[in-house]
Structures are given as C-alpha cells and as structure tokens.
Chains A and B, each alone.
Chain A
Amino acid sequence: MHSSRRQFMLGAGGCAACMSGLTRAHVLPTDLPPLVDVDYEPVDADERGIWQSMEQIEETIQASPQRLNAPELQGYTGSIIEQLMGRETPDLRIYLMRSALFNASMFPTGMMIVNTGLMARVRNEAQLAAVLGHEAGHYYRKHSIERYRSLRNKTATMAWVGAIANLGAGVYSVGPYSSSDWIYVAQGINTLVTMSMFQMSRTQEEEADAYGISLMARSGYTPDAASQVWKQLIEERKASAAQRDKRYRDRSASLVSTHPPTENRMKDLADTAAYLAKGSNRGSTDRRDEWLAAVAPHRAMLLDEQIKLNDPGASLYLINSLAEDGWNGLLRYNEGEIYRLRGETGDQEKAAEAYAAATAFTDVPPEAWRAHGYALLKAKKVDDGRYALNRYLELNPGAKDAGVVRYTLAQ
C-alpha cells in the first residue's frame, strides 16, 4: 500500500509540472474558426437544457433596473462587435450593466454582460474591442458547453473514484491491510481532477484571448490594445494596494484560479500582437476619438460610480490616467471628491485646490462650484465662498439641495 501511494504522489508531481508548463503555453490566433453560425440552434439535449434555463436569466437581465439606459452607447458597442465579426451579429446580445467593477461576461446563449466599470477604464475603442472580442471568443468557440461536459465527466469520475475507494476500504478493512489508504488515494486523485477543471478554464481563457486578438487584427484594430487593458489594470491594482499599505498580489496566480495570471495574459497578448503585426501590412487604428465621443455623456456617472467604491488608490490612478489627455473640469472635480472622501491629513486642502482648479474650466460641473464655495467658507474666505455658492445656484437653479445652499447664504 505504501509503495503504491508513493508512486501515486510521483504521478501527481509529474502532472503538476506539465500543468504549469501548459499555463505558459501560447494559443496561436490561427486555426480558431468559429464553431457556431449566426443562426445556431443547439440540438443535443444537454445544451438545449442549458439554453432553456438561460432564457429565464436573460429575461431577468432585460428587465433589471441595474441595466444602463443608454441606447446610443448600446448601439455603439454593438457596432464594435459587428466590426470585429465583419457581419451583423443578431446572435450576440449585449447588455450594459451598472456595476463599477471591471468585468464583462459571456453566457452560453450569446448574451453578453458588459459592466460600466469596464467602460470607465478602457481608453479607446480598440481596448473595448479587445474585451468584446475575448467574450465573443467564449461564445463562438462553445466554451460553456465544452466546460459543462468536462465538468460532468470529471464529477462522474470523482464519484466513481469515491465509490470504488469506499468499496475497497470495506473489503480490505479485514486482515493486515489499512483501509484508509484507499480513501487517501481517492482524495489525491479527486484533488487532481478538481485541479484539472481549473486548468481547463484557464486554457479556455487563453483561447478566448487569442480569438479576440485575431478578430482585432482582422478588423483593423490595434492588437496592442489587448495587452494595454491588462497593463492598466495591473498598474491600477498596484496603486490601490499601495494606498492601503498592502503589497499587490495577483489573485489569478494560483492553481485554483479560473483565469491565467494577469501578468501572463498581458505578456501573451503583447507577444501575439507582435506576431500578428509581423504578418500584416495593413494599418491599424485604436479609434480613440470615436470612443471618447461615445463615452463623454456618461463620463460623470462612470467616475461617480468608481469614486463611491471607496478605493482612493484606484480612483486616483484612473483620474490621473484620464488626465494624460488633458485635465478638465469634470476630472478636477472628481479628484477633489476623492480627496474629500479619503479624508487623510492634508486632503481637505488638496480637495479645495482641485475644486478651485475645476472652476477654471468651461466644462465645470455645477457641483464643483458648490464644493468650491463650501471649501472657501471653511477657509474663512467669505466673499469668494458666497460668490461660488451663488454661481452653483445660477448654473443649477433646480438643484435638490438649493434650499440648503440658500440657507447657508442667508447666514
């Protein structure tokens, strides 16, 4: 029994090594044809069942109050998918959802969720296309059903391993044998099977990355944008960790992660982009201006959502990144809000400076005048403060807090 357990452990070590080798393997963006057509309908019983249960989820999403009501942005996002696929895409249904977390997800039936937290972070159309292309990859490569079938096989394997081990333990519980060895071996095997499920998920993510970036190259988007998304995210997470006096730790760098380590994805995508650039003579574009125009009406809401996450490190990183294209009133006002909400020593002064700076821009949000006014009153600059509060009331006469502001002015 003991020797067999050692052999088993050896086997485990060997396999663990091959897994980590796979983790770093490239999936080349070639030979990844879509596995479903535009009018795909599932035939197999298991897949039909999944589609049926997804219908209810999609209805919930359609009626959800969390949906972002933004027809133009919705249409714009849809046009990116069509650009990527080179055809109309009635098979992909995109839902923009109000969630400040950086994420997008694909459902087995072609329903795609895109969070506002993603919209807040991408810097150009190509970066958004990178994420949409990745999610489309999950759909067109049929990852959900592939993963479900693998899960079904592996859970069955685990159940059989457990049942046979129980039987073995029962049979060998008499005589000089140790019946618990059966259970140990079964647990070891089942742990490996569990690990292989995570490995499969990571492989699918790599394939979706490769699929997405090949769509980008084909449709004229700068493939570099894909790795840029991850570069920005790593930088933001480092800034967030530093603010909290923590060290940045990538939660995806684990054998039980469903996604490959973020750094690896970034490097893989950058390598693939370089590989694709070599083989192509056609120009590519990141369509930054188009993106900025599309997102402009929603920028204030996106920043507000982010700031309310109470993650000042990440929020300041985002504001400063956006300000690389030039400061404006909205960014300065939100910078002030981050400092005001953080409330560390000296933040009150930093906030006051930011509000003051905001009022110098033509696109200043009315709220910046209010914040500027109260900051001045606190600093005993009464006349300037009253002027600023009056400006707020002029610019926003119907403000909900107009009464409070008038009360202050009457003091």
Chain B
Amino acid sequence: MVRRVMSVAPVLAILLFSLTGCIAPPQQLTSIGFVPPGGNPKIIVMRPDVAVDLLTAGGLLERREDWTNAARDNVLASLQALQARRGSKTRVAITRASAGGEDATVTELNQLHAIVGQSVLMHKFSRQAALPTKDGVFDWTLGEIAVQYGRESGYDYALFLYARDSFASNGRVALQAVGYLGCMVGVCAVAPGGSQTAFASLVDLKTGDLVWFNYMQSNEGDIRTQEGADVLVWTLLDSMSAKERANKGS
C-alpha cells in the first residue's frame, strides 16, 4: 500500500545522488583526544527520540502514531540487544522516567540533543553550510543541563539516539510516476520520496560535551520492522562498540 519507490527508479537515484551529494559519506566524529570510555563507566542509553511520518502528495510530513510507536519499540529492542552483548554498566532507559533525572531535565535534554544534533549534521556534514569556526574541531556541547543531569542520575555518559523515517503516500507515489513521464519528454522534476535520517551522540556528563557523533541517511530500510530498526541501530553504534573492544584489548 504505502511504499518507497526510490531505489527502483534509476532517474530518481540520479536525482537523489545529486541531493545527497552535498553530504559527506557517513563518518563518525569525535572530539579531539577522545578516548572511548575505558574502565567501567556508567552509561545510560536515553529513551530514543523516534518518529515515523507519512509523506503526503503535497510534500507534508504527517506524523503516524502507530508507526512511530512500533518503530520506537523496535529501536528500543535493538538497543537492548546491543546492551546485552556489551554487558558492563550500560542501562537502556525504556521510558523517560527511567532515565534517572528530573522529568523536566530529561525532556529538555532530549530536545536539546535533537537540536544540537541537527546542527552538527548541517554544519559538519554539509559542505555548503560548513562553519569556519568549526573547521577541524568538534566542540558541540549540551552544556550545564547535561552536567546537572549527570549529578542527578549518577551516570558518567549518556548515549542519545534520534531517528526519523518517512514513507510516501499512494498519492505521492503516483505523483512521482508522473514525474518520471516528464523526464521522458525532457522536463525532469521528480518529487522526492520517503527517507530515513538518524544520528547518535555520546555525551560526557562531567562536561556536557558531545564526545562522539555518528549519523546515517538512507532511502531504504524501514524501522517499523525489527530488521530495519536493527540495521539502523547497528549502523549508528556498531563502529563505536568495535572501537571500544579495540580499546579494551590495548
């Protein structure tokens, strides 16, 4: 019924390539001198900020509660599986209340992370919006409120995850089809379809600083399914766990 048509269409693939061309290939960023937490730090995985939207024919993103709830449950399950593999003192906050701090602090922290993360995406991964002051440095921070949360909750690090997924409506798909016809007669403007954007940050709760950041963007995948959520979580976090293992070994 509702589906993505992106990957099947070569014309669109080219268009998308040109759209995403401004974004560097996924890479993780760390602050200078960052050493993955050694010893046995207490890490909290914050309740993931997940939303899934319907992309309407006219291009509006319409939040879908059922899809969002399913996707959040899936992402949480993926995170818990990751935690089970890692052991240590990592805890996954299933609800916001279980994150340990004051409700208002946790809410504000989650929202602040979404904004700061989008700012990192824009200014660090898009060449057009690169900032001279951020050239060669990675010094984003959630500031005092993160430190306050660290004091309240007793954790050393917090891992945040933000994920958005969207799916084209039937109307949007039909509109794209007309767009392809246009390409055949020389006027090529195909409306973009649904897409997936996600990022994750590790925040040092002693300083509030983002010490590690990773993002992914895709026109495939579906976090409404457990497999899709697993792919998202592992794509974002697996490289870090690999580094962590290397660090323990050394």
Contact = CB atoms under 8 A, between A and B. Distances in A.
Contacts of B175: 156, 159-160, 163
B64 A152 contact: no
A64 to B, nearest CB: 9
Interface stretch (A44-52, A287-295, A386-394): A44-52
Given A45-B65, A155-B59, A166 B189 contact: yes
A343 interface: no
A54 to B, nearest CB: 9
B245 interface: no
A151 B56 CA distance: 11
Contacts of B103: 63
B48 to A, nearest CB: 13
Contacts of A62: 104
Contacts of B108: 60, 63
A297 interface: no
Interface residues of B, number: 31
Interface string B180-195: 0110111101010000
Interface string A151-191: 11111111110111011011101000001000000000000
B148 to A, nearest CB: 13
A49 B63 contact: yes
Contact of A155 (B56, B181, B185): B56
A109 to B, nearest CB: 13
Given A163-B175, A167-B185, A170-B182, A53 B51 contact: yes
Given A167-B182, A170-B182, A170-B185, A160 B57 contact: yes
A156 B178 contact: no
Interface string A47-74: 0111111001001101100000000000
B65 to A, nearest CB: 4
Given A49-B62, A159-B191, A170-B187, A63 B56 contact: no
Given A52-B65, A53-B63, A63-B107, A167 B58 contact: no
A163 B62 CA distance: 21
Interface string B51-80: 101101111101111101000000000000
A47 to B, nearest CB: 9
Interface residues of A, number: 33
Given A59-B107, A60-B107, A60-B111, A166 B187 contact: yes
A218 B108 CA distance: 42
Contacts of A60: 107-108, 111
Nearest to B68: A52
A53 B58 CA distance: 20
B182 A156 contact: no
B72 to A, nearest CB: 11
A173 to B, nearest CB: 6
A51 B59 CA distance: 20
Given A53-B51, A166-B182, A167-B185, A156 B57 contact: yes
Contacts of A154: 58
B171 interface: yes
Contacts of A167: 178, 181-182, 185, 187
A163 B178 contact: yes
B228 interface: no
A155 B111 CA distance: 29
B179 interface: yes
A159 B107 contact: no
Nearest to A179: B187
A97 to B, nearest CB: 16
Given A159-B191, A170-B187, A152 B56 contact: yes
A156 B179 contact: no
Contact of A152 (B60, B111, B185): B60
Contacts of A45: 64-66
Count chain A CB atoms within 10 A of each CB in B58, B59, B171 and give the residue with the most. Answer: B58
Contacts of A56: 107, 111
Contacts of A50: 63
Contact of A156 (B171, B181, B184, B187): B171
Contact of B58 (A159, A169, A171): A159
Contacts of A162: 189
Contacts of B178: 160, 163-164, 167
Interface string B151-195: 000000000000000000001000100110110111101010000
Contacts of B191: 159, 163
Given A164-B178, A166-B187, A156 B107 contact: no
Interface string B26-64: 000000000000000000000000010110111110111
A244 to B, nearest CB: 35
Nearest to B56: A152
A358 B13 CA distance: 73
B107 A158 contact: no
Minimum-distance CB pairs A-B, first 8: A155-B58, A170-B185, A49-B63, A63-B104, A156-B57, A170-B187, A156-B58, A48-B65
Given A53-B63, A163-B189, A171-B185, 10 more contacts: A45-B64, A153-B58, A156-B56, A156-B171, A159-B57, A163-B178, A163-B182, A166-B179, A167-B185, A167-B187
26 contacts: A46-B62, A49-B53, A49-B54, A49-B64, A49-B65, A53-B51, A56-B107, A60-B107, A63-B108, A151-B58, A152-B58, A152-B60, A154-B58, A155-B57, A155-B60, A158-B58, A159-B58, A159-B59, A159-B175, A159-B191, A160-B57, A166-B182, A167-B178, A170-B184, A170-B185, A173-B186
Interface of B: 51, 53-54, 56-60, 62-66, 68, 103-104, 107-108, 111, 171, 175, 178-179, 181-182, 184-187, 189, 191
